[in-house]
Structure 1
Amino acid sequence: MSLQTEFPFTLPKGYVDEHGTLHRTGIMRLACARDEIEPLRDGRVKENESYATVIVLSRVVTELGTVSRVTTKTIESLFVSDFGYLQDLYRIVNFQDPSILEALEPGAPFPRTSVEVG
């Protein structure tokens, strides 16, 4: 048995880049401890703890359409529904059973859970 470490996704609305190109598909990898620890050293997180989520997502979203590099600016520019979608996906792949993803249509909302990311 092998461990799945990358998970394809389709955003409900999609990221629109500075050229007006829509990007909906991407890949999120499993997070490692460093992905959650490093943002705590960032000054933006010291000002606003919620910003840690933006940094973590920019580290674990490895592909988003043809965007060459996913950055915090990319994540900040997502529509709220897409940001929430990626937060839910992060919780599922890192803290739950990712096999539930197989039953969902691309871009469909995830089942609500009680797992919280710290």
Structure 2
Amino acid sequence: MSGLQTEFPFTLPKGYVDEDGTLHRTGVMRLACARDEIEPLRDGRVKENEAYATVIVLARVVTQLGTVSRITTKTIESLFVSDFSYLQDLYRIVNFQDPSILEALEPGTPFPRTSVEVG
């Protein structure tokens, strides 16, 4: 019997460049729990701009990014737009769809738009 997969490795299309200029492309995202989506609603930044909730949620569920010691909202804010979009798509797939579709994709390639559309 196989257990539930709760962590998903990923490779960003471009990568996160830290303050020292080091490029980080590989990471791990864990499945979200209800608290990951509820807690950001209490944050003042979300009250000013609802879209900021996505930044907070991703900072909570991305558990590794290269050798970055701690993933924060600043880390997520500093991603290139293509990498931010990639993580949003990955979040939708692992939490709301069938994560087995990830096995068929090359690391770092964008997700097909048809496979990540959420009703």
TM norm structure 1: 0.95
Give deviations 1:56-100, integer Å, cap 9, x for gaps: 000000000000000000000000000000000000000000000
Relative to structure 1, the CA distance from residue 102 to residue 115 in structure 2 (aligned partners, 3 Å threshold; closer, same or farther) is closer
Aligned residues: 117
Relative to structure 1, the CA distance from residue 39 to residue 117 in structure 2 (aligned partners, 3 Å threshold; closer, same or farther) is farther
Structure 1 counterpart SS, 2:115: coil
d(CA) in 2 for partners of 1:116, 1:7: 19
Structure 1 alignment gaps of length 5 or more: none
Relative to structure 1, the CA distance from residue 97 to residue 114 in structure 2 (aligned partners, 3 Å threshold; closer, same or farther) is closer
d(CA) in 1 for partners of 2:70, 2:8: 17
* Identity over aligned pairs, percent: 92
- 1:12 is aligned to 13
Relative to structure 1, the CA distance from residue 24 to residue 115 in structure 2 (aligned partners, 3 Å threshold; closer, same or farther) is closer
Structure 2 alignment gaps of length 5 or more: none
Indicate the RMSD between aligned Cα atoms, in angstroms: 1.6
- 1:50 is aligned to 51
Question: Does the 8 Å contact 1:95/1:115 carry over to 2?
Answer: no
Relative to structure 1, the CA distance from residue 117 to residue 32 in structure 2 (aligned partners, 3 Å threshold; closer, same or farther) is farther
CA displacement at 1:111 relative to structure 2: 1.8
Q: How does 1:13-92 map to 2 (within 5 A)?
A: 13-92=14-93
Question: Does the 8 Å contact 1:54/1:76 carry over to 2?
Answer: yes
d(CA) in 1 for partners of 2:63, 2:53: 17
TM norm structure 2: 0.94
Give deviations 1:27-49, integer Å, cap 9, x for gaps: 00000000000000000000000
CA displacement at 1:10 relative to structure 2: 0.1
